[in-house]
């Protein structure tokens, strides 16, 4: 089994100790923030949940936050992944939005069409911006195309290099980006809504007649999530999948003994976590894994591979990591559920949002004038 200690970033601890609390405003005055993202509602994934919760907390603190998303544009389904919409933007469309907003800071959250348009506009206007590395796109695309991930790193390096700072969630991803020559890195962790994700979440009725132990996966049902490694492992009990995606029909046909519950949210999702015996995270391509800390906050230990995300989150007290997923599941079952809940509760959206604020690049008056000047392209 993997034995590791929690890693701490220079100048910032990954964990915030305060609970989710929308009334705890930081000392900084309200600012106007533009967030440009290709991932937004109605998508259901960790990036959307992170951004929407961050916006909620920022607004409760008095900040003026504008999200430029595919909701503002016509869009088309992404190839091989129709749940994700790609915005169709005319030249200057995102720039005109930024000019109209004239924010105090610009954050580009994703590397898709909207992110590209915002990046181009800011570079032409010599306006500083920040980015975030939410998704292991080189690995995702490698899984989907059969091409080596190294081919796609050229784009990632090109996209993020001009950013004033690149926000990353874990030390493992920080190290990986440094190896790619991206060094302007700052820490932005994640949090849990403790009003929802708790060991006392109501049990789901579907669990009543299932053979124990119940082994749970939550997330997109897609090839890059490596769910087949979970469903194919020989550990006894019942394997439950919560979520939806393009790989669902194929996996249901291949693994008829598994229980697929579809999408769940809020109290229903919390009940799925709390009622499970082990939460299994088979992905090898995530940068964090928000679902892991939600499961832990519900008192459910985690079993995973020793890769980015789990290496930074899972300790021996709250789960187990192994290249043999069956061994990891078996070891995780012996973890104390109270310890898991306490550990999950240590991740605070307040602390994570303050890290986001601290990582932004504030625009001075000259930048604001340049951003909002006419004849943008």
Domain residue spans of the chain: 32-191+351-372, 205-347
pLDDT tens digit string along 124-143? 999 999 999 998 878 877 77
Q: Report the DSSP beta bridge partners of residue 187.
A: 168
The angle that helices 93-101 and 365-372 make with each other, rounded to 10 degrees, is 140
Helix and strand numbers, DSSP H then E, in the chain: 15, 14
Query: What would the DSSP string read from start to end of 147-182?
Result: S-HHHHHHHHHHHHTT-S-EEES-HHHHHHHHHTT-
Work out the mean pLDDT of the chain and round it to a whole number: 89
pLDDT tens digit string along 142-184? 777 788 888 899 999 999 999 999 999 999 999 999 999 999 9
Which pLDDT band holds residue 374 (cuts at 50, 70, 90)? confident
| pLDDT for residue 93 is more than 70 | yes
Q: What mean pLDDT is predicted for residues 211-222?
A: 96
Domain 205-347 sits in CATH at 3.40.50.2000
Pairing of strands 259-262, 278-281: unpaired
Q: Output the furthest CA–CA distance in the chain (Å, rounded).
A: 65
Prior bond to 213 cis, omega within 30?
Answer: yes
Closest-CA residue to 55 (of 294, 344, 349, 265): 349
**pTM, 2 dp:** 0.86
Ramachandran quadrant class, 64 (left: phi over 0; alpha: psi -120 to 50; beta: rest):
beta
Query: Which superfamily, per CATH, for 32-191+351-372?
Result: Glycogen Phosphorylase B; (3.40.50.2000)
Q: What mean pLDDT is predicted for residues 200-225?
A: 95
Cα–Cα–Cα angle for 52, 9, 123, rounded to 5 degrees: 60
Closest-CA residue to 319 (of 276, 368, 354): 276
Decide: helix, strand or coil at residue 29.
coil
pLDDT tens digit string along 28-63? 555 899 999 999 988 888 899 999 999 999 999 999
């Amino acid at each position: 089994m993997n034995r590791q200690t929690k890693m701490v970033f220079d100048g910032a601890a990954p964990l915030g100790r305060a609970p989710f609390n929308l009334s705890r405003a930081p000392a900084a005055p309200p600012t106007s923030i533009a967030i440009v993202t290709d991932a937004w509602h109605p998508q259901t994934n960790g990036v959307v949940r992170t951004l929407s919760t961050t916006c909620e907390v920022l607004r409760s603190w008095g900040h003026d936050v504008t999200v430029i998303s595919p909701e503002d544009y016509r869009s088309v389904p992404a190839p091989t992944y129709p749940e994700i919409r790609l915005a169709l933007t005319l030249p200057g469309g995102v720039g005109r939005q930024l000019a109209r907003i004239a924010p105090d800071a610009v954050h580009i959250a994703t590397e898709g069409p909207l992110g590209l348009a915002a990046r181009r506009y800011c570079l032409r206007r010599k306006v500083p911006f920040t980015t975030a590395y939410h998704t292991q796109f080189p690995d995702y695309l490698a899984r989907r195309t059969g091409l080596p991930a190294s081919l796609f790193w050229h784009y990632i390096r090109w996209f993020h290099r001009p950013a004033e700072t690149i926000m990353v969630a874990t030390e493992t991803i920080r190290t990986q980006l440094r190896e790619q020559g991206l060094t302007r890195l700052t820490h932005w962790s994640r949090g849990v809504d403790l009003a929802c994700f708790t060991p006392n979440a109501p049990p789901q009725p579907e669990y009543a007649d299932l053979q124990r132990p119940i082994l749970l996966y939550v997330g997109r049902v897609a090839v890059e999530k490596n769910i087949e490694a979970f469903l194919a492992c020989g550990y006894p009990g019942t394997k439950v999948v919560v979520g939806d995606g393009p790989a669902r029909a194929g996996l249901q046909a291949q693994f008829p003994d598994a229980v697929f519950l579809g999408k769940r949210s809020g109290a229903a999702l919390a009940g799925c976590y709390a009622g499970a015996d082990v939460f299994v995270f088979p992905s090898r391509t995530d940068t964090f894994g928000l679902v892991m800390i939600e499961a832990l906050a519900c008192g459910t230990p985690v079993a995973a591979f020793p890769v980015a995300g789990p290496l930074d989150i899972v300790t021996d007290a709250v789960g187990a990591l192994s290249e043999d997923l069956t061994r990891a599941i078996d070891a995780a079952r012996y973890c104390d559920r109270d310890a898991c809940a306490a550990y999950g509760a240590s991740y605070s959206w307040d602390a994570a949002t303050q890290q986001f604020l601290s990582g932004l690049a504030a625009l001075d008056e000259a930048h604001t004038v340049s951003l909002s000047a006419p004849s943008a392209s």
